[in-house]
Amino acid sequence: MVIRDLTMAYGSFVIQHDLTFTIRRSDIFIIMGGSGCGKSTLLKCLIGLKAPAKGEVLFDKHSLWHAEPQERERMMRRFGILYQKGALWTSLTLAENVALPLEQYTDLSPSQIRELASLKLALVGLGGFEDYYPSEISGGMQKRAGLARAMALDPEILFFDEPSAGLDPISSKLLDDLILELRDSLRATVVIVTHELASIFAIGTNSVFLDPESKTMIAEGDPKVLLAQSQDPKVRQFLTRGEEHL
């Protein structure tokens, strides 16, 4: 995925401008920066929920935002999205939640859909929990169930919006480990919005740093390399706060 000269705005208010970077295949790509810098807005532009004011989002060399609506929808089906709070339907079981995209976008039989839903739940460590409701499981398990649903259509890119938000350190570490395992086993590309240093250094292979003051990107690359080599005080301050990365 290539982002070229991207500007994001709400009306005349510019959030970020002139963003240009590449998300490589099998990257675990981190979108990072302080609060209010536009991380979640950028994610919305990448997944087809908010049109940029200017610039391109290219997926397999095809423009996401200049495509016809039907073609854009086909491209978006190749994305899987884990929202910040899981966004599970509380009235549906875990299996029924995972089955939703399969029912909507495939011609599989009910028994095949049930089997696939069970498989996706097993991949995230929730085998045997198919008939549980979201209210009956922990927050970390809800995140994993949301991830199983995001993987339902075997996406090429998985997008995560603050996946560790609200989780204790142990659950957050388990989720990081799971993301690594899924990237390696499914050969998927992962894009994560986060400010959690522990996750950034544990799993990030590439990144972009958004600055709320200049309203543009001021660094890109492997977070560990940025920590070792960046001379920008804003980047260094962000990456050295606390001791989480040690």
| pLDDT 10s digits, 7-66 | 999 999 999 999 999 999 999 999 999 888 999 999 999 999 999 999 999 998 899 999
Two tokens at 33?
A: 């920066």
- Pick the range with the lowest mean pLDDT from 3-7, 44-48, 151-155, 218-222: 151-155
Distances (CA, A) of 28 to 3, 63, 101, 120: 16, 22, 24, 20
Residue 30 lies in a domain: no
| pLDDT 10s digits, 57-87 | 999 889 999 999 899 988 998 899 887 766 7
The number of folded domains in the chain is 1
Distance CA 84, CA 167 (A): 11
Residue 105 lies in a domain: yes
Residue 227 lies in a domain: no
Amino acid letter for position 26: S
Residue 44 lies in a domain: no
User: Structural domain of residue 141, as residue ranges?
Assistant: 91-154
**Rg of the chain's alpha carbons, rounded to an integer?**
18
Residue 9 lies in a domain: no
Residue 192 lies in a domain: no
Residue 104 lies in a domain: yes
DSSP state for residue 216 in the 8-state scheme: E
- What angle do helix axes 139-150 and 169-186 make, rounded to 10 degrees? 20
